[in-house]
Amino acid sequence: MLTIFNKRAIVRLVFCAGTGSRFGSTYKRNHNYDYDLIVIGGGSGGLACAKEAIQHGAKVACLDYVTPTPLGTKWGIGGTCVNVGCIPKKLMHQAALLGEGLHEATAYGWDIPNKEQIKPDWNKLVESVQNHIKSVNWVTRVDLRDKHVEYVNGLGSFKDAHTVVATLKNKSEKILTADKIVIAVGGRPNYPDIPGAIEHGITSDDIFSLDRAPGKTLVVGAGYIGLECAGFLKGLGYDATVMVRSIVLRGFDQQMATIVSDAMVERGINFLHKCIPKSVEKQADGKLLVKWLNTEANTEHSDVYDTVLWAIGRKGLVEDLKLENAGVVFKGTKIEVSEAEGTNVSNIFAVGDVIYGKPELTPVAIHAGRLLARRLFGGSTQTMDYVDVATTVFSPLEYACVGLSEEDAIKKMGGEENIEVYHGFYKPTEFFIPQKSVRYCYLKAVAERSGDQKVLGLHYVGPVAGEVIQGFAVALKAGLTIKTLFNTVGIHPTTAEEFTRLNITKRSGLDPTPASCCS
Ligand code: FAD
Ligand code: NAP
């Protein structure tokens, strides 16, 4: 196996030797390794980096391997986002929103007989979601083949700083060498260290392909994943409870986080505040008995659930990499990188969720991977800007933001007196007929107080939050001021236009509730 692989590699090396001329690139090879680049990890960051490097004439191998979850769930190429993250999450969120829409449709004149009997079919939903994922996996593999990226379905580890061992499914090994190596192994969910956690709990790695309806579910963790999963589960008709250890959405603007969780409570999602799980036991009837501690009251509680989902954060996947063989330094489960995504070893780089202290988001991994490849093989000097990255929490009423939270703006500007917050509740036109609650439709612009008032952060809770904030993120990056925002004519009737209609400051103490839709 080894010999065949190396022979193939030599043939390819001869074919590609000299100038990396594919796509007219000017990249000049000056080494004798099998590849110019090995990427370990075929997810958002790794694939973007590999494909971009090919465009510049590099010879690239990309390793990807998924270790099954304790429940045995596994998936194909493409990484977290495609298989067990953004994509299945958004599809299930959409399924939940459609359920809401069906119930609203009657108010808009749709005649839906037996509305009360409308129920989701979990297995059908999972099948549709998984079919879509499999089609994306297939397209990804074809794309890699067409672009001549050598895909290796093996678990990568370092032998030395230029040599990677790929352990294949049948336990045989392939040895690959490269001038440069990019680590893009992403992360996997944490499990708490309590009895029954691994045996009886599941994570986001399992939920999107679960072969039974989840039923009454306890979601432990109140970050993005906890809120999103609890949100779509409730939307699909399952009883959902979020267990919060300290605060909801740590790191986000806390006024907005409270609005998001209040909106979830209004939809019937339960919250257990200041609680930590102690144990999970499987009862004779197959249900799960969960015991927990309320850390504020110091009281013990228990309840029975059909499913327990851990959403307590994720760890970087450094443990299989044998980084010590290459001399790469790591911090906990993450790798600290320079501004140019370099590790402490000069030919080894890292991008995506595995790097320390940067947003764990797909577009971040993709952009960083692409820019890295351009610098390594295309003569570019542009580095990744990790500041002011917009994001959305796909909670039932979505929350999107870009820039600083109000708390961080106060810190950065040296006090409340140096910032101005324009805010308002609003009423989406489409909410009126079905009489949907508008109680939590709220937005705010956090700005400097002086001059043209540079906008520091924009926050929006409401429908299609990501679509609303994306364009404003461009404006904020371009130096948006309150003056420009207020000189912008809105598009009516939309919810995005509400940003151009903001006129009440928090400081004024005036009521930010609108009288009507068009006032
Ligand atoms: P990954 O996409 O995780 O890819 C790493 C790949 O490397 C994986 O396939 C892994 O199996 C493989 N691998 C690991 N170790 C090895 C090894 N030693 N050898 C070979 N292969 C290896 N982000 C958003 O922007 N929007 C969202 O809506 C969103 N929703 C999310 C929802 C959930 C439930 C989760 C879990 C995440 C979500 N994210 C979202 C985050 C997003 O998925 C990640 O930020 C993104 O996938 C990171 O990309 P990556 O390339 O760093 O890692
Ligand atoms: P997270 O945002 O770090 O949240 C983890 C949550 O679990 C926090 O509420 C934390 O509470 C709690 N927690 C941690 N350890 C715990 C324990 N032992 N017991 C009980 N609770 C515990 O992690 P995540 O929600 O798993 O998401 C991971 C990353 O994926 C995010 O950072 C995000 O970048 C990415 N993601 C993005 C999207 C999106 O873009 N829409 C969606 C999903 C995920 P404390 O606050 O007390 O620490």
* Ligand 2 lined by 398 (C-beta under 6 Å): no
Within 10 Å of residue 171's Cβ, how many Cβ atoms? Answer: 6
Dihedral sign for Cα atoms in the order 273, 225, 332, 389: negative
Same domain, residue pair 167 and 179: yes
184 assigned to some structural domain: yes
* Ligand 2 lined by 292 (C-beta under 6 Å): no
CATH (domain of 448) = 3.30.390.30
Instruction: Tell me: cis bond preceding 493? Omega within 30 of 0 counts.
Output: yes
Catalytically annotated residues:
492
Minimum-distance ligand to the CA of 250?
A: 2
Same domain, residue pair 52 and 163: yes
* Ligand 2 lined by 313 (C-beta under 6 Å): yes
229 assigned to some structural domain: yes
CA distances from 252 to 81, 96, 287, 385 (A): 21, 24, 35, 19
pLDDT single digits (tens) 231-251: 999 999 999 999 999 999 999
Burial class (CB in 10 A: 0-12, 13-18, 19+), 117: exposed
The neighbouring-strand residues paired with 176 are 164
Same domain, residue pair 493 and 416: yes
Nearest residue by C-alpha to atom 16 in ligand 1: 185
270 assigned to some structural domain: yes
Domain containing 265 equals 197-312
Same domain, residue pair 52 and 172: yes
Same domain, residue pair 223 and 256: yes
Sheet strands side by side (includes 240-243): 202-203, 307-310, 217-220, 240-243, 270-272
Q: What is the pTM for the complete model shown?
A: 0.94
**C-alpha–C-alpha distance, residues 216 and 303, integer Å:** 11
Q: Name residues of the chain where pLDDT drops below 70.
A: 1-26, 515-519
The neighbouring-strand residues paired with 156 are 166
Same domain, residue pair 354 and 500: no
User: Closest ligand 1 atom to the C-alpha of 166?
Assistant: 19
Residue 516: per-residue pLDDT? 59
Same domain, residue pair 453 and 412: yes
Residue 21: per-residue pLDDT? 43
CA distances from 506 to 10, 33, 165, 408, 503 (A): 68, 61, 58, 16, 10
Report the first-to-last Cα separation within the chain, whole angstroms. 73
367 assigned to some structural domain: yes
* Ligand 2 lined by 204 (C-beta under 6 Å): no
Quote the ligand 1 centre to 451 CA distance (angstroms): 42
Q: What is the DSSP string of 163-211?
A: EEEEEETTS-EEEEEEEEEEE---EEE---SSTTHHHH-EEHHHHTT-S
Is there a contact between 406 and 446 (Cβ–Cβ < 8 Å)? yes
**C-alpha–C-alpha distance, residues 311 and 220, integer Å:** 6
Give the rounded distance of the alpha carbon of 251 from its chain centre: 15
The answer for 313, left when phi > 0, alpha when psi is -120 to 50, beta otherwise, is left
The one-character DSSP state at 508 is G
**C-alpha–C-alpha distance, residues 322 and 35, integer Å:** 20
Nearest Cα to Cα of residue 283 among 169, 196, 355: 196
Residue 304: per-residue pLDDT? 98
Nearest residue by C-alpha to atom 33 in ligand 1: 85
**C-alpha–C-alpha distance, residues 467 and 445, integer Å:** 17
Is there a contact between 287 and 218 (Cβ–Cβ < 8 Å)? no
217 assigned to some structural domain: yes
Same domain, residue pair 351 and 306: no
Quote the ligand 2 centre to 309 CA distance (angstroms): 12
Nearest residue by C-alpha to atom 45 in ligand 1: 361
Minimum-distance ligand to the CA of 314?
A: 2
Residue 462: per-residue pLDDT? 98
- Residue from 82, 276, 312, 333 whose mutation best tests the ligand 2 pocket (most atoms within 8 A of CB): 312
Minimum-distance ligand to the CA of 44?
A: 1
Helices (H) and strands (E) in the chain, counts: 14, 22
In sequence order, the 6+-apart residues with CB closer than 8 A to the CB of 113 are none
Q: Which of 326, 342, 377 marks a domain boundary?
A: 377
Q: How many domains does the chain have?
A: 3
Same domain, residue pair 409 and 342: no
Quote the ligand 2 centre to 46 CA distance (angstroms): 23
What's at 70, amino acid-wise?
P
Is there a contact between 266 and 440 (Cβ–Cβ < 8 Å)? yes
**C-alpha–C-alpha distance, residues 45 and 335, integer Å:** 15
Element (DSSP H or E) covering residue 44 = helix 44-55
Quote the ligand 2 centre to 310 CA distance (angstroms): 10
Nearest Cα to Cα of residue 75 among 270, 208, 186: 208
Strand segments, DSSP code E, in 266-328 are 270-272, 275-282, 288-294, 299-305, 307-310, 314-316
Same domain, residue pair 176 and 238: no
**C-alpha–C-alpha distance, residues 142 and 246, integer Å:** 45
What's at 361, amino acid-wise?
L
* Ligand 2 lined by 80 (C-beta under 6 Å): no
Number of C-alpha atoms within 13 angstroms, CB side, residue 11? Answer: 6
Nearest residue by C-alpha to atom 36 in ligand 2: 224
Q: Which of 293, 312, 331 marks a domain boundary?
A: 312
Residues whose beta carbon lies within 6 Å of some atom of ligand 1: 40-46, 63-66, 79-81, 85-86, 89, 155-156, 184-186, 204, 225, 317, 320-321, 352-354, 360-363, 365
Is there a contact between 381 and 375 (Cβ–Cβ < 8 Å)? yes
Tokens of 320: 């299989």
Same domain, residue pair 52 and 147: yes
- Residue from 206, 245, 389 whose mutation best tests the ligand 2 pocket (most atoms within 8 A of CB): 245
Quote the ligand 2 centre to 225 CA distance (angstroms): 6
95 assigned to some structural domain: no
CATH (domain of 357) = 3.50.50.60
Same domain, residue pair 217 and 141: no
Quote the ligand 2 centre to 125 CA distance (angstroms): 25
Nearest residue by C-alpha to atom 52 in ligand 1: 352
